[in-house]
Each structure stands twice: as structure tokens, then as C-alpha cells.
Amino acid sequence: MNDSEDLKKEDLLTMMEQMQDQLDLEKEERSKAQEKISTLSSENSRLRRELQKKSETIVSLNEKIESLSKSDLQLQKSEAMMQEALKLQREAEDKVSACNRRAEILTARESKVSDREDNLDREIKSKAENMIKSDRQRLEWEYKSKASAITKKYDTMTKTYYVELVSLVIFSLIASLSQIWKEPVIIEDVTDFFSGLWNILLTGYGLAKYAGRNIAGVAEAINNPTASAIVYWVICILVIVAIIGAVGAGIVYISYRYATYMREHQWDRHTVIVVVADLAVTMFLAGEISSVIPVNLILMQILLFLGYSGVRAWIQHSQRTQSYF
């Protein structure tokens, strides 16, 4: 019994070993099959990728084919448009040539018209210049004739007016002088005035002589008496003449300027009226004036006239200033 059991066990073990071997073989085959499956799957994925790339390439080629077909259509349209453009260009060139011919015709007409206008302008200018020249000569002759007539009339009126003023002044002076000699007060004032004027001249001469002697004192430094005396008197005379000449020239210049201003601006009837009124008042009221105011009548007349002249000059200057501004 034991041997049979051992045999059974051995058989079982053998069977189990065989089964184990089969299992191992199956496992190996399964692993190989799995490896093949994985290899096939990777190959399948690679093929799919290649297929996708080829499909994309096919799509792009189809798009290129479509674009080329569209380009062919556009090329055909472009050729048609080019033909149309050439046709339009020829028509435009024909129109331009026609316009150029018309422009040449118009240019020729314009040149003729401009020539005619230039001729007309020259004729008009020449006629206008002749008319203006003749009118100018006529107007100049009329102006000169009228100006000469007006100038003569003005000169005549001015001379007449001047003669009237001078005559009136001379008459007033003669009448006043004829009455002055009848008034002892006026004669005394005239004598005092000229004597005072003479005293002023003598005083001025004395001052000039004094200054000349003082300045000529520098000649005393010369040791030679004769040379010292000559230099002394030469310097003294030169200084006196210089002082008297300077003062006299100043008085003459001021008198000349005042006389010129009086003749140009104040020698009119107003001045004559003032002079006559001054002489008349002095002549008829000499005694009363001397009794009230102890002043020289001749000096008073001169001062009154200078005051009148100064006030009038100030008024004239103010009027000119206001009119200027």
C-alpha cells in the first residue's frame, strides 16, 4: 500500500512538474505574445502617425492644387483685364493725341490773342501817355501862370502892408517926437536915459581897462624896462579890445537875432498898435506917470515892449506846441 501511494505521489509530482513546465512555457509564450502585441501597437501607432502626416501632406497638396486652379482662373482673368487695359490705353492715347491737337490749336489762338492784346496795350499806353503829357503841360502852364499871378499879388500886398506899417510907425514916431519936445519931463528922461547909457559904456570900458591892466601885470616879470612896457601895453590893449569886442559882438548878435525874429514873427499890426499905444500913453500921461512912479519913461517903454514881445513869443510857442501834438 505504501508503495502504491508512493507511486501515486510520484506520478502526481511528475504531473505537477509537467504542468508547471507547461505553465512556464505558456507564460513565456504569453510574454512573447505581449511583446509582439506591444511591438505591433508601437508599429501601429507609428504607421498611424505616418498615415496622418501623409494625409496632411495630401490635404496640403489638395489645397495647393485648388490654389493653383484658382491662380489659373485669376491668371485668365488678369489676361482678360490686361487686354481690356490695353484697349483702354489705346483709346486714352487716341483721346490724348486729340486733346494735344486741340491744345496746339488753342495755344496758337491764344498767342494771336495775346499779340493783339499787346498791340492794344501799347496803343492805349502811347495814347494815354500823350494825353497825360498834354494835360500835364497844360496844367503846369496854368499852375505857373496862376502861381506867378498869386505871387505878384502877394508881393504887392506884402509891400503895401509893409509900407503902411512903416508909414504908420514913422508917423507915430514923428508925432510923438514933436510932442516930446513940448514935455520937459520926457526931455529930461531922454537926457537921463542916454547919459545913463553913456555911463554904462564908460563903466564897461573902465572894467575892461582894469582887467587888461591886471592881466598885463605879468609883463613886470621882464627885466628889460622897454620890453616890459611894450609887452604891458600890447597885452593891455589886446585884453581891452577882446573884452569890448566880445561884449559888442554879443550885443550885436542878440540884437540881430531879436530883429530877425521880430521881422519874421511879430512885425504886424498888433506890434504897431502896441508901439503907438505905448507912445501915446507916454506922450499924454508923462507927467502923471512920473509923479506916481519915479522911473525913466524911455526905459519903461523899452521894458514894456520887451515884455510884450516875450509874452507874445511864449503864446506863439504854446500854440505851435499844441498844434504839433
pLDDT at 111: 75
Calculate the alpha carbon distances from 289 to 84, 99, 186, 248, 280 in Å: 127, 111, 11, 33, 13
Task: Say if residue 50 is exposed, middle or buried (CB neighbours under 10 Å; 0-12, 13-18, 19+).
Answer: exposed
Which is more confident, 90 or 168?
A: 90
Model confidence over 39-88: pLDDT tens digits?
A: 766 766 676 777 677 667 777 776 776 776 666 666 677 677 777 767 77
Q: Name, in order, each residue with C-beta under 8 angstroms of 282's C-beta and a sequence gap of 6 or more.
A: 176, 186, 289, 297, 300, 301
Summarize the confidence of residues 161-174 as an average pLDDT: 70
pLDDT at 228: 81
The most confident of the ranges 181-190, 218-227, 285-294 is 218-227
Can you tell me the distance from the alpha carbon of 187 to that of 303, in angstroms, rounded to the nearest whole number? 19
Phi, psi (rounded to 5 degrees) for 244: -65, -40
Q: Which of 120-124, 258-262, 307-311 has the least mean pLDDT?
A: 120-124
Predicted confidence (pLDDT) at residue 38 exceeds the cutoff of 80 = no
pLDDT at 119: 75
Predicted confidence (pLDDT) at residue 253 exceeds the cutoff of 90 = yes
Cell digits of residue 247: 561884449
Can you tell me the distance from the alpha carbon of 148 to that of 142, in angstroms, rounded to the nearest whole number? 10
- Own/partner pairs for 173-181, CB < 8 Å, 24+ apart? 173/279, 176/279, 176/280, 176/282, 176/283, 179/283, 180/283
Predicted confidence band at 178 (pLDDT cuts at 50, 70, 90)?
low
pLDDT at 252: 92
Q: Nearest 5°: CA angle at 24, between 22 and 28?
A: 115
